[in-house]
Structure 1
Amino acid sequence: MKLPLKHIIILVICSLTGIFVYQTYWLTGLYRTMKQEMNNHIKDAMRTSDFNEIVLRVNELQKDNVEHGSVTVSAGYSDDGKALVTSQTISYTDSTYKDTLHTRTETAVDTLAVNNTDPEARAIASSESGLDVLLKKEDSMKELLLSVQQGMHSGVDTYIDINLQKYDSLLTDVLKAHNIDVPHHILYIYTGTAMDSSKIYIDTLGIAGDSSYIPSPKAIRYDYEFNRHHSQRYQLIMEPITSLVWKQMTGILVTSFVIFLILGFSFWFLIRTLLRQKTLEEMKSNFTNNITHELKTPIAVAYAANDALLNFNQAEEKSKRDQYLRISQEQLQRLSGLVEQILSMSMESRKTFRLHPEEIHLKELITSLIEQHQLKADKTVHVTLEINPESLTLVADRTHFNNIISNLIDNAVKYSKESAEITICCRQTEQTVCITVTDRGIGIPPDKQKHIFDKFYRVPTGNLHNVKGYGLGLFYVKSMVEKHGGTISVKSEPGKGTTFTIIL
């Protein structure tokens, strides 16, 4: 089934729209995923940096208490399976009284949400060890590590203060490892209550980060609470990560854009080819109809003249005989010219087509062509020939070059009004020969000039058919000029005339 062109165009537009919408949806989903992943990286970086900062402080404690010193942390379930218990013990030897061992132990109990009405839950809590139950819960490993880390904080913070600058340095390194290298501030914040628990206050105990960075109103804050009582936390302040996400997506965005451009160009080229084929089909159809009519006309006229001479005794009267013979000759010449153009087109399209270049004296060839067109024209033709130098020669195929100039002169005559005023100028340049054919005819509209060298194309003249043609002449001229390695161009103004310029 042959689809109309407009349906094909609609399908192409719908396909491109569908591809664009799908790409947009996919890229939007990818952006959200990458943004969420980057947020997770930032939070994990804060937790990891906190752990590394604790380890560095523990190492400092070990250096200060070389002889004896230890930090012990434990975590697990209570005996009834309803509470998570973490404890830490820090032991050290007093530097003044070396025989005295000081030990400090803290224990914290976090109640778990265990459904007492669920027999299975009670059985698990009572029959299995706390660690086994913990590992069976969703995200339980992360909760265990977090509890251990908070326990370490409770012990280590008692004997050595948090090093906020070191924490910032560690955090910066971890963020850079995730390609997050942006200015930021890191705050150490303490949240407490008054003695009578009537008022909550927030105190900033320290600040680190880029001193030149000034947070904008759009800056975002990430909080990381590092003790079990939620009273102490790190706060990271930085600009929104939107630009970072888009930057990481640059490769995907560029690739998607290039693919979309290629698809768009491919569809555009397809539609353009279909339109050109449709136009060419219409021109071929018009050419067939036109040439059929043009072939019938000279045949019919020549047949009628010959019939009059044979069957109606018109040959006995000399004036009548000469008139009918002249009519027959003109029609046969017309028919011969048409056949010659068609054969030229057929020959030009063959792969075996070859030129036979030779040296041509331009003045001699063009003067002969001018005389021929002046004799056969049905209007007054005045041609001005300018050749500089007069002995100018050109290497070209004589037959085809003769047809090139003949076609241009013929067009100048046909598209002139009552009389034809034509100027032909030939001049030698450095390495080329420039030939211009100028008339003062009806001219060519600007929007039609780009099509005049197309095969079968004729400038529309409405319902006027006073100028006969087949849309082959200028196509033949351009083809032959290019075969000779030259170029042809046109300049025209409606009502003022046209100039064709050939450079060989």
Structure 2
Amino acid sequence: MKLPLKHIVILVICSLIGIFVYQAYWLTGLYRSMKMEMESNIRDAMRTSDFNEVVLRVNDLQKDNVEHGSLTVSAGYDADGNSLVTKQTISYTDSSRQDTIHSRTETTTDTVKTVGNASEDSKAVASSESGLDVLLKKQDSLKELLMSIQQGIHSGVDTYIDVNLQRYDSLLTHVMKEHNLSIPHHTLLIYTGTSADSSIVYTDTLGIAGDSSYIPSPKAIRYDYEFNMHHSQRYQLVFEPINSLVLKQMTGILVTSFVILLILGFSFWFLIRTLLKQKTLDEMKSDFTNNITHELKTPIAVAYAANDALLNFNQVEEKSKRDQYLRISQEQLQRLSGLVEQILSIGMERRKTFRLHPEEINLKELITPLMEQHQLKADKPVHIELDIKPETLVIVADRTHFSNIISNLIDNAVKYSKEEAELSISCRQTGGTVTISVTDRGIGIPLDKQKHIFDKFYRVPTGNLHNIKGYGLGLFYVKSMVEKHGGTITVKSEPDKGSTFTITL
């Protein structure tokens, strides 16, 4: 089934829109995914930097080779098996804090559930082998355990050495750079005072570090990281929204996607353009077939009628009639021969074996007989003015094809003139360049049609003039042959004022 061109164009446009929409959807999803990953990397960087900062302070404590205290962290599930219970206990052994114990217990709801009549012992503790296996297999539970250990160490070390905010910010900047997160920021150390019922009483900023030139905007994002077991202290990272940073990291993908969409768009446009050109070409071929069929049948029919009169109606005895019919037959056969030769020339000029046979040609001797032929055969008065300077101007060209070139231009000028044809042919030599111009005062060619007149099978609409015969090959042949001679042809025309065709060799 052959789809109409309109339906094909609609399908192509819908396909292109679908690809654009899918690409936009995919890029939006990728943007969100990369943004979430970047935010997760920032939070991980805060935790990792805090751990590294604590390790550095622990190393400072170990330099005096004295035991300062101990940390015990225990974890397990409650009796229902649904909540993770962690307990942190810090004991200090130095003289100022001897026998001092700080303890904190936290309960975190977990997704582990018990099925059936399991014993209480199997549900309860992480100290049993089965409980430890469950704890280690649950990523969230393991993360909570590690956080409890880190907070416990933090609280113990903070008792001896204060948090080094500048060092923490330096470590944080380094870790973020490893994740390609070089962003201006402030790092704050915040203390939160609470009452007995854990409600916040006051908040105080103990220190600030980071980029001194950075001034947070109202849209700035703030990430908090609580680092001690009492949840009374936290780091706060302040920075601008990371939308532009995400887009910057997506630059390669965005550019590639844009180029792909551009190529697809161009390909679809070229496809539609080609289909439209093919449709136009098919219509032109149909017109050409109709026109050339008529053009070929006419001389055959006339020559046949003349021969029939000579053979069957005793016209041979009258010399004047005989000569008239023979002349008619000869003219029609010459016309038929010219049509066939021109059609064959169109096909031959595309062959690789096609060769011109250049020779020296006197332009005056070539053009003058052509003028006389067209004046004689025209069905309207034709006045042609020839101006060649110098009169002995000679070019090197293929005589047959160059004669056809000039003949086609004169023929067009005569056909597209109105009641009376007035033409002028000008030949000039400037240095090594020869220009030949054929000018008429005919109906002219609209500007929007001029770019198509050298296309194969193209014919300019003639409005009310219905007696102009042709099949859209003449100017195509002229342009092809001029280019074969290494020259160019241009046209200047105005409707109702006439046209000028200029050949430059």
TM over 0.5: yes
Deviation at 1:104, TM superposition (A): 5.0
Amino acid at match of 1:236: L
Match of 1:280 in 2: 281
Cα distance in 2 for partners of 1:325, 1:477 equals 32
Q: Does 1:503 align with 2:499?
A: no
Determine the structure 1 residue equivalent to 2:12.
12
SS of the residue corresponding to residue 476 of structure 2 reads helix
- Counterpart of 2:103 in structure 1 is 107
- State the number of aligned residues: 496
Equivalents in 1 of 2:119, 2:283: separation in Å?
A: 83
Q: Residues 399-410 of structure 1 correspond to what in structure 2 (within 5 A)?
A: 399-410=400-411
Distance 2:114 2:351 in 1: 95
Q: Relative to 1, partners in 2 of residues 1:414 and 1:108: Cα closer, same or farther, differing over 3 Å?
A: same
Deviation at 1:469, TM superposition (A): 0.7
Q: Which amino acid aligns with 1:77?
A: A
Distance, in Å, in 2 between the alignment partners of 1:120 and 1:449 is: 94
Specify whether residues 70 and 200 from structure 1 end up closer, same or farther in structure 2 by C-alpha distance, changes over 3 A only.
closer
Partner secondary structure for residue 360 of structure 1:
strand
2: distance between equivalents of 1:32 and 1:74? 41
Amino acid at match of 2:393: L
Distance 1:215 1:370 in 2: 88
Letter in 2 for 1:75: V
Report percent identity of matched pairs.
75
Q: 2:72 aligns with which of 71, 74, 81?
A: 74
Which residue identity does 1:412 align to in structure 2? A
Q: Deviations over 1:338-369 (max 9, x none)?
A: 12211212322333211112222333322333
Amino acid at match of 1:7: H
CA distance in 1 between counterparts of 2:332 and 2:284 reads 25
- 1:467-478, aligned counterparts within 5 Å? 467-478=468-479
Once the two structures are superposed, the pairs formed by residues 179-190 of structure 1 within 5 Å of their partners are 179-190=180-191
Alignment of 1:436-475 (within 5 A): 436-462=437-463, 464-475=465-476
Asked if the contact 1:78/1:85 (under 8 Å) is kept, the reply is: no
Amino acid at match of 1:110: E
- Contact conserved, 1:67 with 1:93, CA < 8 A, in 2? no
Amino acid at match of 1:55: V
Question: Where in structure 2 are the equivalents of 1:144-293 lying within 5 Å?
Answer: 144-193=145-194, 200-293=201-294
Q: For residue 169 of structure 2, what is the amino acid of its counterpart?
A: D
Q: In 2, distance between residues paired with 1:270 and 1:78?
A: 68
Distance 1:55 1:93, change over 3 A: farther
Matches within 5 A, 1:252-401: 252-314=253-315, 320-401=321-402
**Per the alignment, in what secondary structure is the counterpart of residue 441 of structure 1?**
coil
Q: CA deviation at 1:415?
A: 0.9
How far apart, CA to CA, are the structure 1 residues paired with 2:119 and 2:43? 32
Runs ≥4 residues deviating over 6 A: 78-82, 114-118, 195-199
Specify the code of the residue in structure 1 equivalent to 2:7: H
Alignment of 1:415-454 (within 5 A): 415-454=416-455
The residue correspondences of 1:21-40 to structure 2 (distance < 5 A) are: 21-40=21-40
Query: Could you tell me the TM-score, scaled by structure 2's length?
Result: 0.89
2:114–2:123 contact (8 Å) kept in structure 1: no
Give the SS at the match of 2:477: helix
How many Å separate the matches in 1 of 2:380 and 2:436?
Answer: 24
C-alpha deviations, 1:95-135, integer Å up to 9, x for none? xxxxxx95654322113448998654842325725644421
Determine helix, strand or coil for the equivalent of 2:436: strand
Counterpart for residue 86 of structure 2: 84
Contact 2:78/2:123, CA 8 A, preserved across alignment: no
Measured in 2, the distance between the counterparts of 1:223 and 1:469 equals: 85
Whether the aligned pair in 1 keeps the contact of 2:77 and 2:123 (CA below 8 Å) is no
Deviation at 1:411, TM superposition (A): 0.9
Contact 1:68–1:91 (Cα < 8 Å) also in 2: no
Q: CA deviation at 1:323?
A: 4.5
> Which residue identity lines up with residue 445 of structure 1 in the other structure?
P
Q: Which moved more, 1:304-313 or 1:225-234?
A: 304-313
* Structure 1 unpaired stretches of 5+: 95-100
Aligned to 1:97: none
Change (3 A) 1:488 1:195: same
- Please tell me whether the aligned partners of residues 86 and 148 of structure 2 are also in contact (alpha carbons under 8 angstroms): no
Output aligned runs, 1:111-130, within 5 Å.
111-113=107-109, 119-120=117-118, 122=120, 123-126=122-125, 128=128
Aligned AA (1:163): N
Distance 1:46 1:475 in 2: 76
C-alpha change, 1:393 and 1:124, in structure 2 (3 Å) is farther
Residue 187 of structure 1 aligns to a residue whose secondary structure is strand
The two structures, once aligned, show a CA RMSD in angstroms of: 2.8
List per-residue Cα deviations over 1:448-484 (Å, max 9, x = no partner).
2122111111112357431111111111111112222
Tell me, what secondary structure is at the counterpart of 1:108? strand
Q: Secondary structure at the match of 2:266?
A: helix
Measured at CA, do residues 117 and 265 of structure 1 come closer, stay the same or move farther in structure 2, by a change above 3 Å? Answer: closer
Q: Is the 8 A contact 2:41 2:179 kept in 1?
A: yes
CA gap of 1:117–1:10, structure 2 versus 1, over 3 A, is closer
Would the alpha carbon gap of residues 301 and 189 (structure 1) be closer, same or farther in structure 2, given more than 3 Å must change?
A: same
Residue pair 1:76, 1:131 contacting (<8 A) in 2 also: no
Give, as a single letter, the amino acid of the residue that structure 2 aligns with 1:87.
Answer: T
